[in-house]
Structure 1
């Protein structure tokens, strides 16, 4: 018999295989070994294991997750979890939260290399022929909630020959922390909905409508996801950028202390700029649907302040807390309490620090329906650099809007093909992509007009722009920014083909954005488009591109691994001692970049997962986002 990993008496719920079958709950002895989880009848009085009632092979398990307890559950059924396999969910009730967490953690660890792990699960029970969370009536229906963690850094589809457990990593030896569930998904925008302007917006053309911060607007039409037709309180109508408004009184949006889309480094910078003891804000955590309180403290009256970060957790009863025993039904109530009581934190929350008046996000184009820009409206101010297509300059559009202008030298680009594609590229909008505003095609050279980012390219920023030695969190946040932008492109079925630190830019807040996605398709330079050419990005290319020019989303994944290496070496040249011919030969034979000094083992594991020889075994960008989110969450 295999060695026993865990053993515990649990309450097991019947699987209710038919819609009409009654539910029942029975005590069973559960035994976890290296190969399977089994459950037995058990004589409590004699403390003796009796007959085997069932078992599940570990390799068949697709998911292990908590389940939301049903309303008015008895105390012995307050800590349920589920094991999902081919026959459906196996529902188990632990005696307390500690045991529940221990079993979930161990089960997730032993099944993490399974090939059929699912990406979505049902957070509530299947009862009377229906999922209580989403009201679907098919038991095999896909889950309605995305898993918070998937493969914990392992490439999807990777296999091992043996199921013998790997030695636990330091973080796996710690008990997993209780994580708050994701909030229910909110309904999308709809005609007639009232929204509030988060930012001022000055109309860029006659069809646009002015936005005044904190005022309400009614949505009239949503024909374009980036530009909505709206009416203000005076009856005036026009188009507004959809990312400048939020649903009226939508969750945390109405509170000054909530800073949406802010990471840890940005929060610390803002709090230290205000420099008030007890200054605080609430921001999105590195994991979607979770929140963190960031607090500035001058403990002992020191002039130099430090920042503390507290993850807002949730009890099994869906109450929020920062300090145990101080639970609240909403985040608003929690913040209100801690504004008057420290209750386990280094200080009470004394002063609200807000970023609501910071720079507005970029718009998808310079006004609704505008993609052809009149060059007479552009003012050139200074040269930023010289790229593959020609000179790039910083300038102004209509004398007031900052833009970057690529002046395409003739003969460098297949212009007609690009101009047609530009209409599609303008509709791509994400916080971690450099926004294409439009093109000037009526003269030569043609211009590509994009969002301007003041901190320049990521490569220069890593080498020269960082004013102090970066923290591990800062470096990881840069990588997370890139993965989120690339995950969006991946979902839009867009390939970058030239992902590298030189093709990312950094804004005023330190946010990294990907640029020049897809442009390499239009290059006419043979040295750039052929893997034998000296300008080809050999150092960022996987074997299938170097040998067969086979591009895919998985070749972008390889390039991201190299970009991550650039970040953690602060901008060093990959394979710096080898020429292109040597790189092609040695990478094809298995050579990989070494672990940078600033990268720990978990970070380097992410890099090496991007450099698996078989392209299909590399993770996708969505999986990389989750893996990096997990790591960031552990560091907070």
Structure 2
């Protein structure tokens, strides 16, 4: 090789092994050229070259190591894409030995020595040719904490009320009976509490099944917690009763409530919904109509059940389905993440994904679950299993909940929450005939809220698209498969030139430099919005991947969908700025879309 700078036989550690042992180290021939470091597997007659990915390499002597380090420093002195920190020790047993961080992609803990603003000292540039443009620097994601903070609001000794029935899934769990009171004994983590019931029995309960006993709404049949505006309208329209009503949390203001009423007045044949915010006086009294003030919300509702007093109708019929839609729990019982496959029953195949077959089934014969059967060789299994313990602690009503994994056999299984309406992309194409503008906007809002939670946890999705969102029986959209693309072993998927790479959802910095960040997820969300407002059309449907990379990098953007007005389209285009730091955050998008929802007629 005429351009070879150095050649040496080094000892290289296998990249796919979780633990170190002599069997995981092999001799390889390393070659340094001005463009790259390559190593050759010369155990076979035909040498195979590998030139991507992180390497753990050992030199035979310190002199050889110093020679190579000095030469590498010289070669890369003008490289602007180098990270500024590194890990001086191994990743072993699920953590970096130097700093004990538990995420393999975590930022390094030791700063590289810098001089004169660069990585290594250089007397002068060797060429007057300008350096290629580089994207805006993005801070590498900080690692997820091993233990999320406790859910705000719960304290030891607090009295809570069960909003949903909960049948124990593990021996140490405690049964919850709807509307009964429990005493909090211990805050285990963000998702589980230890509690005692009125009979003196103790055990673990999911924290999202209970609320603090404060205003008495939790026991009221008409109170539908966590229901958004479009869901309320759909439920009222399904009941189709004049004067049907429910009370829900206000989408705009935390701690505020809205009364949604269905009416057929004014000659309307199909009926419509009206929404009234419950207001408060300076003295803390509640009212819907002036001069009719009440000390609590149940008294207010009781009054308006008998008197319209300014509303379009009196509140005649209670409409609610909250008891039928208990939220998912973080795991199938407290501390349970390894699931016995013998407790799983496979019922039907749901589809085929990047990792293998996905099936609908039951856990212990009574809990609906979705089961991903991971085909061997498709995933870096050891790394994923370590991360799964952390991913299980991520819980949000707009994320598909990971319940656990089956790792004691092959193939391994990933067990998640089951959503009966399936993939959002299919739902858009096959089931939505004439969706209302509000319904489409609420779908976008669902996704932003789930992604804002991931953003707050410094978690990057990397493959956000309608195909990676699911729809539950209530019409709520939930994001799934977050972070899984990091463990794909398929070159066609992981390389930006591969045919399986999500080019149509990727910003220029990913297409050109493979730089993922929360802002690349923002770009993908803009494309997902476009999918929603075109009812599932393929983005850039008349271009191939090569054309897309060229056009998008040159400033081309998707057109405005017919169902999207200018304000909606402006939200999409704000996600598609060339410069990543000019794109909004997901928290910004939550507020923007919420304002659009509240101001929609």
Query: What is residue 404 of structure 1 aligned with on the other side?
Result: 370
1:75-224 matches, cutoff 5 A: 188-224=153-189
Query: What is residue 454 of structure 2 aligned with on the other side?
Result: 489
1:630 aligned onto 2:595: yes
More displaced stretch, 311-320 vs 579-588: 311-320
Query: What is residue 264 of structure 2 aligned with on the other side?
Result: 298
In 1, the alpha carbon distance for the partners of 2:438 and 2:407 equals 43
1:260 aligned onto 2:249: no
In 2, the alpha carbon distance for the partners of 1:230 and 1:571 equals 46
In 2, the alpha carbon distance for the partners of 1:426 and 1:586 equals 39
| SS of equivalent to 2:493 | helix
In 1, the alpha carbon distance for the partners of 2:243 and 2:409 equals 57
Query: Could you say if the C-alpha distance between residues 197 and 295 of structure 1 is closer, same or farther in structure 2, counting changes exceeding 3 Å?
Result: same
Kindly provide the CA deviation profile for residues 357-396 of structure 1, in whole angstroms up to 9, marking residues without a partner as x. Answer: 2221100000011000011110100000000000000000
> TM-score, normalised on structure 1?
0.68
Contact 1:285 1:633 (8 Å CA) reproduced:
no
Once the 2 structures are TM-superposed, how far is the Cα of residue 326 of structure 1 from its aligned partner? Answer: 4.6
1:475 aligned onto 2:440: yes
Contact 1:298 1:304 (8 Å CA) reproduced:
yes
In 2, the alpha carbon distance for the partners of 1:617 and 1:304 equals 44
In 2, the alpha carbon distance for the partners of 1:300 and 1:553 equals 48
Superposed CA RMSD: 1.9
Runs of 5+ unmatched residues, structure 1: 1-185
Query: What is residue 332 of structure 2 aligned with on the other side?
Result: 366
Once the 2 structures are TM-superposed, how far is the Cα of residue 404 of structure 1 from its aligned partner? Answer: 0.3
In 1, the alpha carbon distance for the partners of 2:440 and 2:286 equals 30
Instruction: Find 1:288's aligned residue among 253, 260, 273.
Output: 253
| SS of equivalent to 2:306 | coil
Contact 2:163 2:218 (8 Å CA) reproduced:
no
Query: Could you say if the C-alpha distance between residues 310 and 394 of structure 1 is closer, same or farther in structure 2, counting changes exceeding 3 Å?
Result: same
Once the 2 structures are TM-superposed, how far is the Cα of residue 595 of structure 1 from its aligned partner? Answer: 0.7
Query: What is residue 433 of structure 1 aligned with on the other side?
Result: 399
Query: What is residue 506 of structure 1 aligned with on the other side?
Result: 471
Instruction: Find 2:513's aligned residue among 540, 548, 559.
Output: 548
1:563 aligned onto 2:537: no
More displaced stretch, 307-316 vs 366-375: 307-316
| SS of equivalent to 2:248 | strand
1:352 aligned onto 2:318: yes
Query: What is residue 573 of structure 1 aligned with on the other side?
Result: 538
In 2, the alpha carbon distance for the partners of 1:324 and 1:612 equals 47
In 1, the alpha carbon distance for the partners of 2:524 and 2:282 equals 41
| SS of equivalent to 2:275 | strand
Query: What is residue 149 of structure 1 aligned with on the other side?
Result: none
In 2, the alpha carbon distance for the partners of 1:416 and 1:244 equals 33
Contact 1:239 1:368 (8 Å CA) reproduced:
yes
Kindly provide the CA deviation profile for residues 260-292 of structure 1, in whole angstroms up to 9, marking residues without a partner as x. Answer: 111122212322333332111111222132322
In 2, the alpha carbon distance for the partners of 1:554 and 1:268 equals 33
1:340 aligned onto 2:269: no
Query: What is residue 55 of structure 2 aligned with on the other side?
Result: none
Contact 1:455 1:465 (8 Å CA) reproduced:
no
Query: What is residue 182 of structure 1 aligned with on the other side?
Result: none
Query: Could you say if the C-alpha distance between residues 250 and 420 of structure 1 is closer, same or farther in structure 2, counting changes exceeding 3 Å?
Result: farther
1:244 aligned onto 2:202: no
Contact 2:397 2:478 (8 Å CA) reproduced:
yes
| SS of equivalent to 1:635 | coil
Query: Could you say if the C-alpha distance between residues 259 and 577 of structure 1 is closer, same or farther in structure 2, counting changes exceeding 3 Å?
Result: same
Kindly provide the CA deviation profile for residues 90-122 of structure 1, in whole angstroms up to 9, marking residues without a partner as x. Answer: xxxxxxxxxxxxxxxxxxxxxxxxxxxxxxxxx
| SS of equivalent to 1:189 | coil
In 2, the alpha carbon distance for the partners of 1:187 and 1:486 equals 20
Query: What is residue 443 of structure 1 aligned with on the other side?
Result: 409
In 1, the alpha carbon distance for the partners of 2:495 and 2:182 equals 52
| SS of equivalent to 1:234 | coil
Query: Could you say if the C-alpha distance between residues 320 and 608 of structure 1 is closer, same or farther in structure 2, counting changes exceeding 3 Å?
Result: farther
Query: Could you say if the C-alpha distance between residues 320 and 211 of structure 1 is closer, same or farther in structure 2, counting changes exceeding 3 Å?
Result: closer
Query: What is residue 134 of structure 2 aligned with on the other side?
Result: none
Contact 1:192 1:218 (8 Å CA) reproduced:
yes
In 1, the alpha carbon distance for the partners of 2:267 and 2:209 equals 40
Kindly provide the CA deviation profile for residues 424-452 of structure 1, in whole angstroms up to 9, marking residues without a partner as x. Answer: 00000000000000000000000000000
Query: What is residue 591 of structure 1 aligned with on the other side?
Result: 556
In 2, the alpha carbon distance for the partners of 1:587 and 1:513 equals 28
Query: What is residue 608 of structure 1 aligned with on the other side?
Result: 573
> TM-score, normalised on structure 2?
0.72
Once the 2 structures are TM-superposed, how far is the Cα of residue 515 of structure 1 from its aligned partner? Answer: 0.1
In 2, the alpha carbon distance for the partners of 1:187 and 1:463 equals 39
Instruction: Find 1:233's aligned residue among 188, 193, 198.
Output: 198
| SS of equivalent to 2:258 | strand
Contact 1:278 1:297 (8 Å CA) reproduced:
yes
Kindly provide the CA deviation profile for residues 584-634 of structure 1, in whole angstroms up to 9, marking residues without a partner as x. Answer: 001001001111111111111110110011101111000100000111010
Query: Could you say if the C-alpha distance between residues 320 and 501 of structure 1 is closer, same or farther in structure 2, counting changes exceeding 3 Å?
Result: same
Runs of 5+ unmatched residues, structure 2: 1-150
Once the 2 structures are TM-superposed, how far is the Cα of residue 311 of structure 1 from its aligned partner? Answer: 3.0
Query: What is residue 498 of structure 2 aligned with on the other side?
Result: 533
Query: What is residue 348 of structure 2 aligned with on the other side?
Result: 382
In 1, the alpha carbon distance for the partners of 2:309 and 2:505 equals 50
In 2, the alpha carbon distance for the partners of 1:411 and 1:379 equals 25
